[in-house]
Amino acid sequence: MDRLDLPQGTLDLLILKALSLEPQHGWAISERLRQVSRAMLDVPQGSLYPALHRLERRGWIKATWGPSDNNRHAKFYELTRAGRKQLGDELDAWQKLTTAVSLVLEMR
């Protein structure tokens, strides 16, 4: 199955959405995105962790250390109040963008 390349900025939206459900560590976020997308989205660590650090610097997520499922020490990320607002803003923008692109692609 072909994997998709994410347009610039889309990874942030997907991470925020994944974290809106529950706090997760990096590998779990990547795995969840892969599962939900039916393996069409495979986010490499080299893209995921810089995005997580960027979102943390912006104050949209916060991190705490805790044990993972296999009892390893892991950094868990969760949305902040500002992150929830940003997710809402980005979802609205995404809906407008995909509607506009669909209209153009359907023109005859």
Q: What is the mean pLDDT of residues 47-70?
A: 94
Which range is least confidently modeled, 1-5, 17-21, 61-65, 84-88? 1-5
Fold of 10-105: Arc Repressor Mutant, subunit A (1.10.10)
1 has pLDDT over 60 = no
Largest CA-CA distance found in the chain, in angstroms, rounded: 57
- Residues, the chain: 108
Q: What is the rounded average pLDDT for all residues in the chain?
A: 93
Q: What is the mean pLDDT of residues 1-16?
A: 83
The residue with greater pLDDT, 48 or 71, is: 48
Two structure tokens written together for 79: 């949305």
The answer to whether residues 42 and 31 touch, using CB atoms and an 8 Å cutoff, is no
Reported pTM: 0.90
β-strand partners of 74 = 66
- Which tens digits make up the pLDDT trace of 76-91? 999 999 999 999 999 9
